[in-house]
Structure 1
Amino acid sequence: MAQTVLHTADSRGGADHGWLKSYHTFSFAGYYNPERLNFGALRVLNDDRVDGGRGFGEHPHDNMEIISIPLEGSLEHKDSIGNVGVIDPGEIQVMSAGTGIYHAEYNKNKNVPVKFLQIWVFPNKRNVEPRYDQQIIQTAAHPNELVQILSPDKNDQGVWIHQDAWFNMGNLEKDHQVVYNFHKKESGVYVFVLEGSVSVDGQKLATRDGYGIWDTSAIEITADTDARILLMEVPMEF
C-alpha cells in the first residue's frame, strides 16, 4: 500500500530577513524540524522572494545538486567556474556543486521582487567536477501535459543531475486528469502545487501544499481548478 506524507503550505518553516522572505518545506538554516529533514534524496525545497536589487552574495556549496526555478522576475547568477547569466520564468537552472563551487544570486531588477524555488538533491556521486546548465521549460507549448524538465540522462529532455531523479511540470486546466508513472519502484514522488488546487489519488492539495507518495507505481492527478504543479521523483534510499 502506498505511503504518503502531507506538508500543507502553512506548516512550512520560514524566515523573514526583510529583503528575503523564504518558506522552507524541509529543515534549513534557522528552521529545524526532525520530522522534516528530507524526502528521500530531496533535501531542500525553499520558496524564496527577494526584493529588487538584493540577493545572496558569493557563498560555497559542495556535493549537492542545486536547482533553481524562477516563478516571477529575473534571477542573476555568477559563479566561480566562469558562468554569468540571467534565469527567467520559464527556465530551469542546475548546478552540480561536486568538489566545490562558489556562486552568487541576485534579483536582476531594482524595482520588482524575484520569486523562485531553490531545490537541493543529494547526489549519487561525490566529488564530481562542478558544472552548470540552464534550459527553457516547455510547459507553455504543452498544456494539460506533464513536461519533463530534469532527469539523470544528459541526452534526455531537460537538464540533468547526478541522481536517479526526474522532475516534471504541468499547467493543467480545471477538471483535467493526468497519470504519472514512476520510473523506478524505489522512487517516491513529491508533488508541489505552484498555483491552484489539485487532487492526488483523492488527496486535495491547495497552492504551495506538498505531498509525498511512495511504495506505489503511479499516481493520478486531477486539477480541481486551473493549476500549475511540480513533480519531483527521487530515490527514497540513497
Structure 2
Amino acid sequence: MYNFENLNDYEFEILCKDIMEKKLNAELRVYKQGKDGGIDINAFTGNEIIIQVKHYVKSSYNSLKTSLISELKKVKKLNPNQYYICTSQKLSVQNVNEIYELFKNFMNSSKNIIDGTQINEFLKEENNIDIVKRNYKLWLTSTNVLEIIYNKNIFIDSDELVYDIEKDSKFYVETESYTNAKKILNNNKVIIIQGDPGVGKSTLSKMLILNYISEGYSVRYSTDNDISNNKKSVIS
C-alpha cells in the first residue's frame, strides 16, 4: 500500500503522468504549478487528451466535487476528445457516477476517472515497479518497506529509530549527497558520514536505511559505539 499523503501536489501530478503514459501509451506533458487553465497534463499532440489531477487525499468528497465543478467551464472551452481525472481520494461507486455525469461528454466511460484505490492497485503490479522507483517518496514511505523495518529479522536496539524514520520520511528529498552516498556504499560496502551539526547526517543515514531495506537487506543498529556488538549480531 502506498501513502499519497507524503506527496505534494506537484509530486502527485508527476506520479499520475507516469501512470497515464503507461495506461494510454502516449507521451504526456506536465505543466509548472500555478493556474492551469483546466490542464494539469496533456498529450504533446495538443488537447486531444487532457488529464486533471486532484490531490485531495485529506479532503472530503464534497470538496473534491466542488473543485471539479469549477473545472467544467474550462473543459467545455477546451473540448478535449478524452478527459481524464486522477485523484488521490478513494471514491465510492456513487462518487464515480456523479463525477462521470459532470464530464460524460468528454469521457468514453467512468473508467476515465482514476481514484486512489485504482492507483494503488496499478502500482502493485510487478510490471509497474519502474514507476514506483522513479517516484522516490512513494516507495520510501510505502507500507511494505515500513513493515520490513518492524520485521523480527531486523535487530534495532531503539524503537526511536523506527519512529523517527517513519515520522520524517515525508520530508525526505533525493539529493546529490544521497546519490553519492549510495554509490560509495555500493562500491565499498562501508561509509562514514561526517559533517557539522545540522547538515543532515542523520537524515541521510535514515534515507540510506530505507533504501537498502527496500532492496531486501537487514539492519543492525547500535548506539553504544561498540562495533563488536554489530559484528556479533551479524554472526548470529
TM over 0.5: no
Q: TM-score, normalised by structure 2?
A: 0.27
Structure with higher strand content: 1
Of structures 1 and 2, the one scoring higher in RCO (CA 8 A, sep 6+) is 1
Q: TM-score, normalised by structure 1?
A: 0.27
Structure with higher helix content: 2
